[in-house]
Amino acid sequence: MNYKEIIKKLDINKLPKHIGVIMDGNGRWANKQGAIRLWGHKHGVESVRAIVEASVEVGIKYLTIYAFSTENWTRPEDEVKGLLKLILDSLIKEVDALNKQNIIVRFLGTDLGLSDEYKQKIEKECEKTYTNNGLNFNIAFNYGGRLELLEGIKTIAKQIQENKISLSDIDESIVSSVLYTSGMPDPDLIIRTSGEQRLSNFLIWQSAYAEFYFTDVLWPDFRKKDFVKAILEYQNRQRRYGGSK
Ligand code: IPE
Ligand code: IPE
Ligand code: MG
């Protein structure tokens, strides 16, 4: 089935509200071509463009892509530098097109390790989209699920210290509200490419009841058809949330 044929099979009343994507396999893709890893990352940008377009066409409200983890700093300096530059350059290049499609672009992650200049440049581009109300396109960047929780726990502790809340006020909704995804629905579907089957510190609190979809396709080869195929499979899953049926 091609992209259009799969879309026809989708039940628009059962769309995932929020899809998370762990874009993996860029290095292996480049390796197969005898090229350096950055070549794979570069080609991955085209796949991002494709799934953003598909999300708009299908009517997905939230899309979160995993672009750079807090653990990715351990990679060789050349690759880290190249990735940071590629992410900022791609944002600058694409932001007008994203804006025209009524998309809100947000970066989710920590400030740690980033220069003020870099952070300001990202913020300046994202701000242009904040008055839009179409697809919420989140880029998990310098993101780690454990660090997100840790920062959130400190925020809550501070609120207690300042007598803004009391211990008995802390519930799941308070925890959710101090995370980078505050106010957003939890992901219903998490897609990971390249055959790896793990979370790698992505949205660990939020994906408690997410459905997982794994594919062997390497990220730079991932296209709109692959994306809607994952949504179709999601729609055939039975979500039980611990209940019985
Ligand atoms: C995903 O591809 C991109 C990032 C993690 C930034 P990888 O760079 O992890 O590629 P593989 O997994 O080594 O093939
Ligand atoms: C996860 O991929 C991080 C991103 C996709 C940005 P990795 O390639 O870094 O994960 P591991 O090391 O295989 O778990
Ligand atoms: Mg990888």
Q: Where do the structural domains in the chain lie, given as residue ranges?
A: 3-144+185-234
End-to-end CA distance of the chain: 32
Residue ID of nearest Cα to ligand 1 atom 3: 24
Cβ-based neighbour number of residue 77 at 10 Å: 8
The whole-number pLDDT of residue 157 equals 98
Q: Is the CB of 24 under 6 A from ligand 1?
A: yes
**CA 103 to ligand 2 centroid distance, Å:** 26
Q: Is the CB of 22 under 6 A from ligand 2?
A: yes
> Where does 3-144+185-234 sit in CATH, by number?
3.40.1180.10
For the chain, 245 residues long, the average pLDDT of each consecutive 10-residue run is 98 98 98 98 98 98 98 98 98 98 98 98 98 98 98 98 97 98 98 98 98 98 98 98 92
**CA 110 to ligand 3 centroid distance, Å:** 20
The whole-number pLDDT of residue 245 equals 76
Residues 6+ apart with CB under 8 A from 188: 16, 17, 18, 19, 210, 211, 234
Secondary structure class of 239 (helix, strand, coil):
coil
**CA 193 to ligand 3 centroid distance, Å:** 9
Q: Please say whether the beta carbons of 28 and 194 come within 8 A.
A: yes
Q: Is 26 exposed, middle or buried (0-12, 13-18, 19+ CB in 10 A)?
A: buried
- State phi, psi for 63 to the nearest 5 degrees: -130, 125
Residue ID of nearest Cα to ligand 1 atom 6: 68
The whole-number pLDDT of residue 191 equals 99
The whole-number pLDDT of residue 31 equals 98
- State phi, psi for 215 to the nearest 5 degrees: -135, 150
Q: Is the CB of 195 under 6 A from ligand 2?
A: no
The whole-number pLDDT of residue 115 equals 98
